[in-house]
Structures are given as structure tokens and as C-alpha cells.
Amino acid sequence: MKFPKVFSLQQIADILNCRYIGDDDFPVHGMNEIHVVEPGDIVFVDHPKYYDKALQSAATVILINKEVSCPEGKALLISDDPFRDFNKLTFHFNPFRQAVANIAPTASIGKNTVIQPGVFVGNNVTIGDNCLIHPNVIIYDNTVIGNNVTIHAGTVLGADAFYYKNRPEGYDKLLSGGKVVIEDHVDLGALCTIDKGVTGSTLIKEGSKIDNQVHIGHDTVIGKKCLIASQTGIAGCVVIEDEVTIWGQVGMASGITIGTKAVILAQSGISKSLEGHTTYFGYPAEEARKKYKELAAIRKIPEIIAQLKSDL
């Protein structure tokens, strides 16, 4: 999430009421979650296990709960609770804005686009030309939809990321300040849920087709011309490259990459990154022919045991 202008390190520290290490006028352009940080961004870290990852990331400002050696060319914001203060920045720069109409006056809707009854379009939403939005679709604030997009009934674009910190008093929610971006010629089935990014964008690229009841988590990127069948669940921060086919009821863990033109067969469970140009099946998913051979061998176990007993 980029700020409306460049702020100084001192200005950001004043918002958070925290100490800092670095020049007063060190430039701060925005804030992002660790998976999508860029130079000029703030990233937060609150566990020693991830200090090095944050300090060595592309982010140039690290919001951290311990004073450590600051890498050259970077700055630190010292906080007793970086999670809380990251939320404070999200709320400061992207506060919740109550809706005042079913279609917000700040929304932009292109030529020949049809909005069916019961659709909600939030603040600062952009919808391109020649789109068809079916009844009861919910489009949260700041969503961007390209041209020639079809969205079927009941789909929700831009709900919050499923991201919590476990505290003694209960789960503390990380505020979502990102958005959903849908490129041209995308079809979304009925009752899909696509969560916004934490600070960046959840992205579905040009020409992809998504069936009914598919969930896509925060900050995930779906490549061009992908096919995703119904009841698939994709966690946050997943990268699915171009022309991937995913059949029904596939489940996918966060932070993994699926390579170009991979095919994942129905009811597979994906716990790690997979290479492209290969067909996968099973849980944990493996190359399909290998998995089928394993299943065939397992079916022979009773016969083998019976034979061993008869030989005794």
C-alpha cells in the first residue's frame, strides 16, 4: 500500500509515538506485508525467528520490537508491539469508510457494463467496459475490475484477509488495507470469495476462468488463462502461474507457487510448491502416475499378507 505522498521517518514515528533509528528525513513511500515489500516500504516483524528475513528484505524501513543493528541504507522503527502499530498505520492511511449507497458515488463504471439488481459496489471501485455483474454480487472498496468480466450471483470481492495474531486474551486481527484486482476477460462463478490483500493486491490475471464456490486468499496471484473448478480453496500469498488447471475440491497451503501449465486433479492437497508442465494428484500431491502406482500397490497389501500367512 503506497501512501498518498512520501513521508519522513520522523513523521511516521510521530504517528506511532515510537523511537526510530535513521535520518529524520529518511523517505517512507508505503507499507507492505513481507511477501510483497518493495524499496521505500515499511515491513513489521515481532519474532526473533523472522528478524533476518525482514531486515534483509526489499523493505527499507523495519518496524521491529527490539533495537538491532540497522542494515546500511535502511531505517528502524522501534515498537513494543509492531503488530499493533502496523494496524495503526493501516487505519491511519486507509480507514474504513461507511457506504452511503448500493453503488458508491465514487465508483467508476465503464461503457456497456450491466449491473443487475442487488449488487453492492463500494467506494472507489473501478469496473471496466462490457462487464456483466449478476445479482447480489458484493464488491468491496477499492476493487479494480477490467473489461469484459462476468461475475455470477453471490460472489464477494474484497473481504478481509484471514490473518490473526494469537494473544493471551484472544485473536488479534491484522487489518486489511489492500484490494482485489481482476484483469480483462475473467469469468467468476457464483458464490466465490476473493479476499483483498493485507496491504497489496489479490490479483486474477487476464483470461482466467473460475467456477462456483472457489475461495482465493489474500495477496494470492492467479496467472493468465487459468482454469479453477468448484470448491477449490487457495490460501493466502500463493502464486499460480499461467495456464494452470485446478480441478474440484483442491486445497492449497499458503505461500507456495504452482508452475506454468501444471494440472492438479480433483481432491488433491497441496502443501508445497509444484513444478509446471506436470499433472499432480493426491495428498500430499505428487506426480499423478506415481501416485496411482502407489495406490495400486497399497490395494495389494491384504493379498500379500494373506499369502505370507499361508506360507507359514
Q: Return the amino acid letter for 163.
A: Y
Q: Beta-carbon neighbour count of residue 160 at 10 Å?
A: 16
Which pLDDT belongs to residue 310?
Answer: 84
Contact 173, 164 (CB under 8 A): yes
Q: Return the amino acid letter for 105.
A: P
Which pLDDT belongs to residue 303?
Answer: 87
Q: Beta-carbon neighbour count of residue 174 at 10 Å?
A: 20
Interacting residues of 120 by C-beta distance below 8 A, sequence separation 6+:
99, 102, 103, 137, 138, 139
Which pLDDT belongs to residue 240?
Answer: 98
What is the spatial distance between Cα 255 and Cα 218, in angstroms, rounded to a whole number?
10
Q: Which residues are catalytic?
A: 218
**Beta bridge partners of residue 264, listed in sequence order:** 246, 280
Look at strands 187-188 and 209-210 and give their pairing: parallel
Q: What are the pLDDT tens digits along the chain (312 aa)?
A: 999 999 999 999 999 999 999 999 999 999 998 988 999 999 999 999 999 999 999 999 999 999 999 999 999 999 999 999 999 999 999 999 999 999 999 999 999 999 999 999 999 999 999 999 999 999 999 999 999 999 999 999 999 999 999 999 999 999 999 999 999 999 999 999 999 999 999 999 999 999 999 999 999 999 999 999 999 999 999 999 999 999 999 999 999 999 999 999 999 999 999 999 999 999 999 999 999 998 899 998 998 888 888 887
Sorted by where each starts, the structural domains of the chain and their CATH numbers stand as: 2-93 (3.40.1390.10), 108-291 (2.160.10.10)
Distance of CA 235 to the CA centre of its chain: 7
Which pLDDT belongs to residue 68?
Answer: 95
Which pLDDT belongs to residue 311?
Answer: 80
Q: What's the Cα-to-Cα distance from 277 to each of 242, 258, 264, 266, rounded to whole Å?
A: 11, 10, 11, 17
Look at strands 164-167 and 170-173 and give their pairing: antiparallel
Half-sphere exposure of 199 (CA within 13 A, CB side): 25
Q: Quick one: which of 103, 94, 146, 109 has its CA closest to 123?
A: 103
Q: Sign of the CA dihedral 16, 22, 26, 29?
A: negative
Look at strands 279-281 and 286-287 and give their pairing: antiparallel
Query: All 3 cell numbers of residue 87?
Result: 494496524
Q: Quick one: which of 73, 83, 78, 79 has its CA closest to 21?
A: 78
Half-sphere exposure of 4 (CA within 13 A, CB side): 5
Contact 38, 32 (CB under 8 A): yes
